């Protein structure tokens, strides 16, 4: 099993910072905020009026059949777009790929078709059960993105969806990695998609007091590790990666962004929405991922933090990093949270942030944590405030932690043939 190496050969993203990889990465490394006042619906009566919306998205460009746009939720549309861009980026020619039962799809969503659920509930209440759409269920369920993407390309390998809140996309990529390592498949489209900037989504998270209400300064609202943070900012979008077994990629002359070296997962078993106070579950998750990859702590250059801009979350992740890395945490280890720019993409966060790690390794640029004006005294690491930093990245750690105590970590490293 350990001899099968897994590499990233294609990346597709749809995000508040851009609907393609070059635009997204350029804005990310330049510290651009994708957060503004919500335009999708009237927010006059809502406590939170801001989010990281995907702009100028044209779903019809990504579906063979125009009718499928009306038959899919926005989260599935994001997933299809990102999958097609990843496929193109990987220069895959299906007729040359051989046995498509060895090519799988794992695309998750933390919540799924929330807009569909809300719209159809309104229809039920106003017009009666006979007017509910026959497409409601397939549009709403969280596995439909994975299913439709497999149908679009004829990929008949392992196919399922992960649903683990904000750890969803990391789990999707990690489980695909595991199946390649165990020789159950040779390639995957893997990642996550989310579209919850809808009335029910904003109202629900706001009622938990989880969202920032810095409505007058939307671009300054997401501020991980800052003492003035007041909650996370909702984002939406998708990130899909093509990952392959190394020899499979080599045989077709694929460009390789990086190698996925390790994957760790754990449970806090503590609270529905709060992390363990000392970050033990997150620490154990990172430790497992590094051990699986055979990575020494001193080899890690960059941690793309979960860093949501919540009071407890940022402190607990900082404690977890310090507990695991010891002196290294303050001596050469660099941490940043790109959620400061994108907002929190929930079930898509881990895969979009895996794209960040791949690009950081490729270009030797670590994106910043913007809005970090006054660091929380309990958040005392090097978080790359305001401006990106040029630095060779040999190994990057990507953290995602979700409601329910779900923790997932992926480790990417520079590919060396």
Helices (H), 132-194: 136-140, 144-153, 168-181
For this structure, is 406 an active site residue?
no
Residues found in the chain = 417
For this structure, is 386 an active site residue?
no
Name, in order, each residue with C-beta under 8 angstroms of 329's C-beta and a sequence gap of 6 or more.
Answer: 321, 322, 381
For the chain, the first-to-last Cα distance in angstroms comes to: 18
In the block, residue with structure tokens 């579906």: 63
What 8-state DSSP symbol labels residue 369? Answer: B
* DSSP bridge pairs for 191: 107, 240
The distance from CA 189 to its chain's CA centroid, rounded to whole angstroms, is 14
- Per annotation, catalytic residue among 306, 357, 379, 406: 306
The CA distance from 330 to 282, in Å, is 18
What 8-state DSSP symbol labels residue 370? Answer: T
C-alpha separations of 115 from 37, 74, 173 in Å: 19, 8, 25
Residue 371 region, left (φ>0) first, then alpha (ψ -120 to 50), else beta?
left
- Per annotation, catalytic residue among 28, 48, 166, 316: 166
Say if strands 365-366 and 389-390 run parallel, antiparallel, or are unpaired: antiparallel
Q: Is 93 exposed, middle or buried (0-12, 13-18, 19+ CB in 10 A)?
A: exposed
Helices (H), 159-264: 168-181, 199-207, 246-251
Tokens of 5: 């190496």
The CA distance from 167 to 400, in Å, is 5
- Per annotation, catalytic residue among 171, 248, 344, 406: 344
The CA distance from 31 to 271, in Å, is 34
| Dihedral, 337, 343, 349, 355 alpha carbons, nearest 10 | -60
For this structure, is 316 an active site residue?
no
Q: Is 239 helix (H, G, I), strand (E, B) or coil?
A: strand
What 8-state DSSP symbol labels residue 113? Answer: -
The CA distance from 58 to 167, in Å, is 27
Name the residues annotated as catalytic. Answer: 166, 306, 344
């Amino acid at each position: 099993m350990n001899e099968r190496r897994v590499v990233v050969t294609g990346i597709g993203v749809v995000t508040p910072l851009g609907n393609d990889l070059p635009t997204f990465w350029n804005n990310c490394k330049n510290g651009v905020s994708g957060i503004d006042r919500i335009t999708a619906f009237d927010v006059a009566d809502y406590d939170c009026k801001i989010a990281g919306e995907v702009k100028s998205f044209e779903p019809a460009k990504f579906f063979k059949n125009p009718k499928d746009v009306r038959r899919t939720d926005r989260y599935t549309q994001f997933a299809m777009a990102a999958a097609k861009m990843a496929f193109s980026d990987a220069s895959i020619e299906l007729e040359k790929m051989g046995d498509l039962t060895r090519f799988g799809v794992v695309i998750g969503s933390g919540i799924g078709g929330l807009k569909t659920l809300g719209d159809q509930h309104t229809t039920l209440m106003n017009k009666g059960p006979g007017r509910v759409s026959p497409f409601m269920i397939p549009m709403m369920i969280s596995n439909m993105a994975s299913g439709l993407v497999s149908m679009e390309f004829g990929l008949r390998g392992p196919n399922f969806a992960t649903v683990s809140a904000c750890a969803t996309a990391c789990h999707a990529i990690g489980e695909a990695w595991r199946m390649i390592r165990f020789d159950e498949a040779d390639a995957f489209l893997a990642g996550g998609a989310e579209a919850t900037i809808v009335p029910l989504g904003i109202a629900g998270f706001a009622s938990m007091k989880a969202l920032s209400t810095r409505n007058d300064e939307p671009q300054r609202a997401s501020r991980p590790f800052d003492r003035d943070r007041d909650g996370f900012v909702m984002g939406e979008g998708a990130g899909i990666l093509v990952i392959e077994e190394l020899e499979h990629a080599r045989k077709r002359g694929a460009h390789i962004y990086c190698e996925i070296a390790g994957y760790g997962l754990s449970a806090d078993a503590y609270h529905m929405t709060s992390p363990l106070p000392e970050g033990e579950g997150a620490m154990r998750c990172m430790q497992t991922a590094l051990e699986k990859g055979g990575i020494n702590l001193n080899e890690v250059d960059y941690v793309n933090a979960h860093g949501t801009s919540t009071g407890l979350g940022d402190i607990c992740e900082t404690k977890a990093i310090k507990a695991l890395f010891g002196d290294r945490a303050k001596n050469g280890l660099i941490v940043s949270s790109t959620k400061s720019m994108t907002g929190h993409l929930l079930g898509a966060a881990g895969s979009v942030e895996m794209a960040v790690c791949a690009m950081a390794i490729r270009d030797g640029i670590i994106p910043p944590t913007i809005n970090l004006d006054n660091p929380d005294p309990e958040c005392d690491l090097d978080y790359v405030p305001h401006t990106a930093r040029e630095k060779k990245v040999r190994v990057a750690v990507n953290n995602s932690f979700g409601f329910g105590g779900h923790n997932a970590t992926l480790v990417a490293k520079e590919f060396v043939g």
